[in-house]
């Protein structure tokens, strides 16, 4: 029986492991967390819409009936392709086949000051920290002087992609419907929410229709949309833009870019732009035997995708499906199948009844798009209980215009 080691329990790693249920492989699934996290809804944890447990699913529960899968919670420090093993915090683990599905992390583009002071949102714990920070700053604003209060109330979101648009809309709805009831002593007319995008439009990878509509929706919700604007510095109290303009804020949310979670040990010549790993059409890492890369970390050039595939869940899932077939083909000494991405479209939600959807055959916005977005995300969440909890939370929020999850949960210190 061949030993398959999968690093990362995101969309790609989890899907591959589940599809190999009780097949003729000994599978070791390695992740630093003991749960799978549903990244598209991190922003709802950050804005008090959902609890972290609603979008996370225990790995061991996912594999209770799969006897050929071994889960280990640890960090991988290095890959040793020549010895066919990986070095982890719990020792070395050998493999016959290795799959790297480590995903991405926040890209600050080398700006150390921004990295030190901004709030990223690429994990459940970071989303929870963001929630704590915003709520604590509101508490602090109650007793602050006028100048400090301005910085505590202002929120700047950097990055006009789906994450930036979604978190901006959610915060604008909180400002409108929730926060004035929680903090009647504060004047929320003084609270400004800014969405900053370096490009010429929001949702730059979507259709012109979707971009224009998303910006319109954001402005209707009261968000200040600043396009063709770059952040050059942030010291924790003031944002400086390339134009020289500044905004006082203690809440800078960074959703402007991602880079691959690389692991030491691979040859330098297989690393592409954005710390992605170069792979061929079978997801094999170039010039490294028996090692594959899947999902956001994989950089595959095809005729249709000369700059690599978009770093979205559908690509990760489809690559996992093709690799599943190819691993079985390797065992049976059959020809491998090339990966070809079938683009099923993209979408983003801006707020209540407001979303944009681009499908290959139709584009639509508004209430119908919002229902479509909710249904699809609900179906993609792992676990019946999680689906139910998210649905109940969404319905409660829809009919009451409120969420009841505004808790400041601080890290334990002994």
Contact 260, 297 (CB under 8 A): yes
Q: State mean pLDDT over 186-195.
A: 96
* pLDDT surpassing 90 at residue 22: no
d(C-alpha 241, C-alpha 223), whole Å: 18
Task: Give tens-digit pLDDT for 201-239.
Answer: 999 999 999 999 999 999 999 999 999 999 999 999 999
Query: From residue 345, how far is each of 205, 317, 357, 362 by CA, in Å?
Result: 11, 14, 8, 9
How many Cβ atoms from other residues are within 10 Å of residue 67's Cβ?
A: 9
Instruction: Annotate 393-405 with b (16+ C-beta within 10 A) or e (fewer).
Output: bbeebeeeeebeb
Q: State mean pLDDT over 39-47.
A: 95
Which residues, 6 or more positions from 10, have their beta carbon under 8 angstroms from its beta carbon?
Answer: 36, 37, 39, 101, 102, 103, 295, 296, 316
% of the chain exceeding 90 in pLDDT: 90
* pLDDT surpassing 90 at residue 372: yes
Q: State mean pLDDT over 250-271.
A: 95
Q: Which of 137, 182, 163 is nearest to 401 (CA)?
A: 182
How high is the pLDDT of residue 21?
85
Task: Give tens-digit pLDDT for 125-172.
Answer: 999 999 999 999 999 999 999 999 999 999 999 999 999 999 999 999
* pLDDT surpassing 80 at residue 341: yes
Domain residue spans of the chain: 2-42+54-106+258-331, 112-256
d(C-alpha 316, C-alpha 81), whole Å: 23
Contact 30, 94 (CB under 8 A): no
Fold equal for 2-42+54-106+258-331 and 112-256: yes
* Residue 294 binned pLDDT confidence (cut-offs 50, 70, 90): very high
Contact 336, 360 (CB under 8 A): no
Contact 199, 227 (CB under 8 A): yes
* pLDDT surpassing 90 at residue 384: no
* pLDDT surpassing 90 at residue 413: no
Look at the chain and count its residues.
Answer: 414
* Residue 404 binned pLDDT confidence (cut-offs 50, 70, 90): confident
% of the chain exceeding 70 in pLDDT: 100
How high is the pLDDT of residue 260?
95
d(C-alpha 363, C-alpha 151), whole Å: 39
Task: Give tens-digit pLDDT for 355-366.
Answer: 999 999 999 999
Contact 389, 54 (CB under 8 A): yes
H-only helix segments in 121-261: 124-141, 146-153, 162-177, 179-182, 208-220
Mean pLDDT of the chain: 94
CATH superfamily membership of 2-42+54-106+258-331: FAD/NAD(P)-binding domain (3.50.50.60)
**Does CATH place domain 112-256 in 3.20.20.70?**
no
Helix (H, G, I), strand (E, B) or coil at 360: coil
How high is the pLDDT of residue 37?
95
d(C-alpha 59, C-alpha 405), whole Å: 25
How high is the pLDDT of residue 18?
93
**DSSP class of residue 339?**
P
* Residue 96 binned pLDDT confidence (cut-offs 50, 70, 90): very high
How high is the pLDDT of residue 36?
96
Contact 175, 183 (CB under 8 A): no
How high is the pLDDT of residue 267?
94
The tokens for 324 are 């599943």
* Residue 241 binned pLDDT confidence (cut-offs 50, 70, 90): very high
């Amino acid at each position: 029986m061949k030993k398959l080691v999968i690093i990362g329990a995101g969309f790609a790693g989890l899907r591959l492991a589940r599809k190999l249920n009780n097949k003729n492989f000994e599978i070791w699934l390695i992740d630093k967390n003991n749960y799978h996290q549903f990244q598209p809804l991190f922003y709802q944890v950050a804005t008090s819409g959902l609890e972290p447990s609603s979008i996370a699913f225990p790995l061991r529960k996912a594999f209770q009936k799969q006897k050929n899968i071994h889960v280990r919670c640890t960090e991988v420090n290095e890959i040793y392709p020549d010895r066919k093993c990986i070095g982890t915090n719990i020792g070395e683990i050998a493999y016959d086949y290795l799959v790297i599905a480590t995903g991405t992390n926040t890209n600050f583009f080398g700006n150390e000051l921004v990295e030190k002071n901004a709030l990223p949102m690429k994990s459940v714990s970071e989303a929870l920290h963001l929630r704590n920070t915003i709520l604590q700053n509101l508490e602090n604003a109650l007793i602050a002087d006028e100048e400090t209060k301005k910085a505590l109330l202002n929120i700047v979101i950097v990055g006009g992609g789906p994450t930036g648009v979604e978190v901006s809309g959610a915060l604008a709805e909180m400002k409108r419907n929730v926060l004035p009831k929680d903090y009647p002593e504060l004047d929320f007319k003084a609270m400004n929410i800014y969405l900053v995008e370096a490009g010429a439009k929001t949702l730059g990878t979507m259709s012109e229709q979707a971009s224009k509509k998303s910006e319109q929706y954001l402005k209707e919700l009261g968000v200040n949309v600043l396009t063709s604007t770059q952040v050059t510095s942030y010291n924790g109290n003031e944002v400086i833009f390339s134009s020289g303009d500044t905004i006082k804020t203690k809440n800078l949310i960074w959703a402007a870019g991602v880079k691959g979670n690389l692991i030491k040990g691979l040859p330098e010549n297989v690393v592409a732009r954005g710390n992605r790993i170069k792979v061929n059409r079978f997801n094999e890492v170039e010039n490294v035997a028996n090692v594959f890369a899947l999902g956001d970390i994989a950089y595959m050039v095809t005729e249709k995708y000369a700059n690599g595939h978009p770093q979205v869940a559908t690509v990760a899932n489809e690559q996992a499906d093709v690799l599943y077939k190819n691993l079985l083909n390797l065992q049976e000494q059959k020809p491998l199948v090339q990966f070809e991405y079938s683009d099923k479209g993209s979408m983003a939600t801006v707020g209540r009844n407001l979303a944009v959807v681009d499908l290959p055959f139709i584009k639509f916005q508004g209430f119908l798009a919002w229902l479509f977005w909710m249904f699809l995300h609900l179906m993609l969440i792992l676990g019946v209980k999680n689906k139910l909890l998210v649905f109940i939370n969404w319905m409660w929020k829809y009919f009451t215009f409120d969420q009841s999850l505004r808790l400041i949960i601080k890290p334990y210190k002994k």
